[in-house]
Amino acid sequence: MRRKFKWLTPMIALLPCLVAVARAQSFDNQASFGFRTAPGATLLPPAENPSTLDKSEPNRAQEMDPQIKSIVDRLLRPDRSRILLGSFNRKIVLEHYAQNWLKESTPLGYSISKSLVALTVGQAACDGKLSLDQKGHALAPELAGTAWGNATIRHILTMRSGSAVVDPVKSGWKTDALAWKHQQIYRGSMSINYYDMLRSEDEKKFQPGESFQYSNLDTFALTLIVQSAVGQNFVDYFQEKIWKNVQSAQAGSWLQNTHGQTAGAMTFSASPEDWVRLGHYVLDQHAQSGSCFGKFLQEAIQPLTRTYVPSRCYGYQIWNWCDTSNFMFVGYGGQYLIMNPAHQVVLYAHQASHAGDPDLVELYRKLLASAFQLRHQPR
C-alpha cells in the first residue's frame, strides 16, 4: 500500500507552493494588481518629477486620536480592507497595508473609474470639443437611434440616459449574463464592439433625464463619445489631460477591448500613493473656481439626485453625502477615494468587500477631525 501511493509524498511537499500560487492568482489578488497582465492593459507613463507626497509621519493621525488605531484594527485584513492611506495637505498621516506585498500593488479602482471618465468629459468640454447639452449622436453618430444618442451628455453623466432599469444589486449591469460576458476584459481579451453592445442592450425604457439608473453602459457611452469628439483614443486623451497633470510616481493603466475602446466604467488602476496623488490633484483643480475645469468640478460634485443608498447623492459620476463638503469616487468591493476640499484631506481605501464600509466612514470622520486639529495647531 505504501508503494502504491508513494507519489503522494512529493505532491504533499508541493502543496504549500500550490496554495501560494492559487492565492497569488485569485481574482481579488489580481484586482490588487489591476489585471495588468491582460492583453488589453494599456499603461500610462509616470511623471519624470512626481508631485509631492510627504511620507515622513505615516502614523500622525492615530497618534493624535488613539481611536483611529482601533478602527484600523477592525478593518485591516486581506478579505476586508487591504490598503488604507490618509493624507492631509499632501502629507501622509495614515498608512496601513494588510500584507507587505500590497505596498507594491496597483489596485483596480473598479467604478472609481467612472469618476475619471467624468473628469475627462469635463476637460473635453473645457477644450471646446463638446458641450454637456449636446446629444450623444451629435458627437458619436454611431449612437444614433439609441437612448445614449438621444440623451444629452449631462443626462448620461448623471446616469439618466433612459436606456433600461438596472437593479442596484447587480453593480451597474443590467443582467448577470452581460456582467459575465464582460468578465473577458479581465480574463483575456474583450472582442465585443461597445457600440454593438450598447445597441443590443438598449431598451429606451425612459425619456432621457427622467429616471436615475446606475448603469455601466452609460459610462461606456461617455468613453465612446469623448473618443469620437476629441478625435483620438480615450486613453491617450486621458493621459494628456488628466494623468500627466496628476504627476504620478508609477504608471497608471486602463483596460481596452480589441477595438481600442476603453472599459471606462471599471478598469483604471494605479499605485496606492498615486491614488492619493489623484485625490489631491482633484482638490487642487476644484479650488480653482475661476478656471473652466474648476467650475466643472464644482458642478460635478453637486448632489444632483438621490440614489438607491439613502444617505448618498450623485452628481456627474461622482458620489457625495448629499452635500458638497465631501465627495467620493466609489468602486465595487469597497474601493474609495474620499476628498474634503476645506481641509485638503484624502482617504484612499482598497478593499475586498463592502463589509467594512461603516467602519471606513468612521475612520474618515476621525481622520478629518485630526486634520482639523493639525491645521489649527499653534506653530
The rounded distance, in Å, linking the Cα atoms of 124 and 269 is 22
Backbone angles phi, psi at 222, to 5 degrees: -60, -40
Q: What is the mean pLDDT of the chain?
A: 92
DSSP state, 240?
I
Other CB atoms within 10 Å distance of the CB of residue 39? 12
Tell me the pLDDT tens digit for each residue of 223-243: 999 999 999 999 999 999 999
pLDDT band at 219 (very low <50, low <70, confident <90, very high): very high
With a threshold of 0.95, does the pTM exceed it?
Answer: no
Extended strands (E) in 270-326: 305-306, 313-314, 319-320
- pLDDT in the model for residue 376: 65
Dump strand ranges (E) for 211-275. Answer: 252-255
Q: Which domains does the chain have, with CATH numbers?
A: 60-376 (3.40.710.10)
Q: How far is CA 311 from the centre of its chain?
A: 20
pLDDT tens per residue across span 278-319: 999 999 999 999 999 999 999 999 999 999 999 999 999 999
Q: What is the pLDDT of residue 377?
A: 65
Q: What is the pLDDT of residues 333-345, one digit of tens each?
A: 999 999 999 999 9
Instruction: Give the integer Cα–Cα distance in Å for 148 and 146.
Output: 5
